[in-house]
Homo-oligomer: A and B are copies of this chain.
Amino acid sequence: MRKLLAGVTLFCTSAFAFQGTAPVPLRGYTPEHSASEVSWEQKYRAIPEADRIKETMRRLALRPHHVGSVYDKDNADWLLAQLKAYGLDARIEEFTTLFPTPKSRKLELIRPDGTKFIPKLEESALKIDPTSGQKDEQLPTYNAFSRDGDVTAPLVYVNYGAPTDYEQLEAMGVSVKGAIVIARYGQTWRGIKPKLAAEKGAIGCLIYSDPKDDGYYVGDGYPEGPMRPADGVQRGSVMDMPVYPGDPQTPGVGAKPGVTLIPLDKVDTITKVPVMPISYEDALPLLKSLGGELVPENFRGALPITYHTGPSIAKAHLALAFNWDRKTLYNVIATIPGATLPDQWVIRGNHHDGWVNGAGDPVSGASAELDEARGLGELLKQGWKPARTIIYAFWDGEEPALLGSTEWVEFHAEELSKHAVAYFNSDGNGRGYFRAEGSHQLENFVDSVTKDITDPETKMSAYKREHLVAIARATPDTRAEVRSRADTRMPALGSGSDYTAFIHHLGISSINMGFGGEDQGGGQYHSIYDDFYWYTHFSDTDMSYGKALAQTAGTMMMRMADADVIPFQFTDLADTFKVYTNEVKRLADTMRAQIKEHNTQIGEGTYAALADPKKKRVTPPVEALTPYFNFAPLDQAIDDLSLAASEYDKAFAAHAATAPAGLNLQLIQSERVLLDPGGLPSRPWFQNMTYAPGFYTGYGVKTFPAIRETIEQKQYATVDTQISRVAAAVKREAELLKSATKTLNGN
């Protein structure tokens, strides 16, 4: 994409004056411009059609379309043809990346008497579900980026395989050294499970879907209901993406032909132990074989058994071998050149590859996105010209490791750093309430758009529905703020979809959005049952929320592309950074208090009092107290930022109409300045100092991660340094806003 915008020249807008009174113009727009924008946006929102979105889903989900499959390429070609048919400038951008697939999978439970239980490792084709029987094209159930291995060992059950689960097991004297762990899906991102198991000394890892988490406990099993059936399996990547996502052999570099590859045996994001996902039907005999104590209450799933920690007397034998091939990715990219600000890019993306048929994930989002592109194509024909350049991307290879988006971002890093204004992501979509997460300077903007979207079911605005649901679900402690805060709080972005490289590697303001929350779901996730039959029976069955997504995201693209001044708002950002600061301080205080209490109890003899001679319990040692840290630089920077943000707001209110062109170029940098080229401790690819996926959560975000994780991991000596680095990032944001304010004030 380095040549993406060749031939388009920068067109400077002349100064303009706000005129007229009501209605309140859109932020960053003059009243006249706002009126014409509103009119174009209304025209746009009349275009998306639920039935078209449904037909797109039927087409894209018709056959399995994982990376390297015939239908993956076929879908890319079809998407390209559609975009061209809409009159858009579209092309396919290829990369070639590592993508392992199973060569052989073996699992058996060998009982002391030599008899075996052999799990079937296969999902059933269902007569009622026409695509579930496409066995020839389906990937078998496996975890991508598991290493090869052949291990035999007793089993130990580790709950979700999260750090706190191991703490509980260790207190019970249970070790996983030399064992194969069996963990259940959920809570942490799946790649954390083998990573931590290996760190704790296990030699293999099985991950099963407990019915408590996405099976009959949650809702009726498929095909009577939407939840995972007895032999349903969740495929998925287990690459150590909290270190870096994308092609493991080309970190930081777009995987084009000729690029130097890290040899496979030097790649440290491939798992250290073999790992495989299984169904609960296959897991049940394994779990029944476990001896040892009863598990703690939070370890218990919904299988009709008494859960024990293990180890098992029977031994599990796990043997996995993979084809370590490099496959071609097909990113489909359409561009609408900006009429007046072509070097400012507004980007939209959703992946198109699936693990199998992928109707929910990702086609429900991708088919909405395609109808957005059609809508913008229509507007262009009617004479609409976006000020900024608009890019629509349909990513390939998201499922294995965010491959398509990451390689594209890495390849175009220099251009993107200069030109990208914002990135708007979606993925699977569902029925219910709007939800967005992302950069806090976009909170006001997102609300401004969702106020203009009609919720299909209630006919109130998507904003109002989301807001009222948030009020209903708030705790008595948080409700007053939910009611009164001017803009809806957006959670920060962790990982799990294609925004990752944009926001965390390049510092491009990003949003991830979608509708959902009314239906049970998740039981089809990454299985052969995530298909058209499932989606049209158990999710947004009439695609009215697919249409709402197309209306929402398309409006965002237009409003961001057309604004005279980029409508970022920074008091929300400053306010949220203050919340983060309070959280990391409280984390240190809470840890200190807990350790103090822990040490006191050891001294008092509490562990002796709780000792049950019938159970093994390990009394933990007295621990060093969490020291006090120097938060002063951060407090100072937050105060500076708060002040700078409100000064910017005042200047914006007074002078936005006469803002010089340079202001937008400053605003584009507002997420970039949060980067630190040194990156996060032990993972330099992640450069955004304000948020990142957790090193031990995988999906879940850690805000101010360099501070938070060094405290959590008790690397106390480095905390003050990390505070200073975060403070410096916040300070850069404050300085940027001061400059922007000067620009606005004309001095």
Query: Cβ of A305 < 8 Å from any Cβ of B?
Result: yes
Within the complex, what minimum Cβ distance (angstroms) separates A272 from chain B? Answer: 34
A279–B610 CA distance with the chains assembled, in angstroms: 34
Contact A304 B609 (CB under 8 A): no
Is A587's beta carbon under 8 Å from chain B? Answer: no
A614 to B542, CA, bound (A): 13
| B306 in contact with A217 (CB, 8 Å) | yes
Interface centre among A225, A464, A612 (most CB of B within 10 A): A612
A606 at the interface (CB under 8 A from B): yes
CA distance A397 to B589 in the complex (A): 56
Check A611 for interface membership: any CB of B closer than 8 A.
yes
Question: Interface digits, A181-224 against B, CB 8 Å rule (1 contact, 0 not)?
Answer: 00000000000000000000000000000010000111111000
Instruction: Please give the distance in Å from A531's CB to the nearest CB on chain B.
Output: 21
Query: A606's contact among B468, B597, B612, by CB below 8 Å, is which?
Result: B468
**Is there contact, CB below 8 Å, between A472 and B610?**
yes
A426-465 interface code vs B (CB 8 A; 1 in, 0 out): 0000001000000000000000000000000110100011
Q: B518 contacts A612, CB within 8 Å?
A: yes
A303 cross-chain contacts in B, Cβ below 8 A? 304
Cβ contact of A219, chosen from B306, B457, B604, cutoff 8 A? B306
A651 adjacent to chain B (CB < 8 Å): no
Q: Which residues of B contact A479 (CB under 8 A)?
A: 597
Q: Which residues of B contact A597 (CB under 8 A)?
A: 476, 479
Q: For the complex, what is the distance from the CA of A426 to the CA of B594, rounded to whole Å?
A: 37
Residues of chain A at interface, number, CB under 8 A = 44
Contact between A518 and B614 (Cβ–Cβ < 8 Å)? Answer: yes
Q: Report A475-508 CB contacts with B as 1/0, cut-off 8 Å.
A: 0100100000000000000000000000000000
Any B CB within 8 A of the CB of A632: no
* Nearest chain B residue, comparing its CB with the CB of A614: B518
CA gap between A519 and B293 in the complex, in Å = 12
Q: Please give the distance in Å from A214's CB to the nearest CB on chain B.
A: 12
Q: Is the CB of A468 within 8 A of B518?
A: no
Q: Complex formed: what's the CA distance from A217 to B460 in Å?
A: 44
- Using a CB–CB distance below 8 Å, which chain A residues touch chain B? 211, 216-221, 225, 227, 294, 300, 302-306, 432, 457-458, 460, 464-465, 468-469, 471-472, 476, 479, 518-520, 593, 597, 601, 604-606, 608-614
Given A468-B606, A472-B610, A479-B597, 7 more A-B residue pairs with CB atoms under 8 Å apart are A217-B300, A220-B294, A464-B609, A465-B609, A468-B608, A469-B609, A518-B612
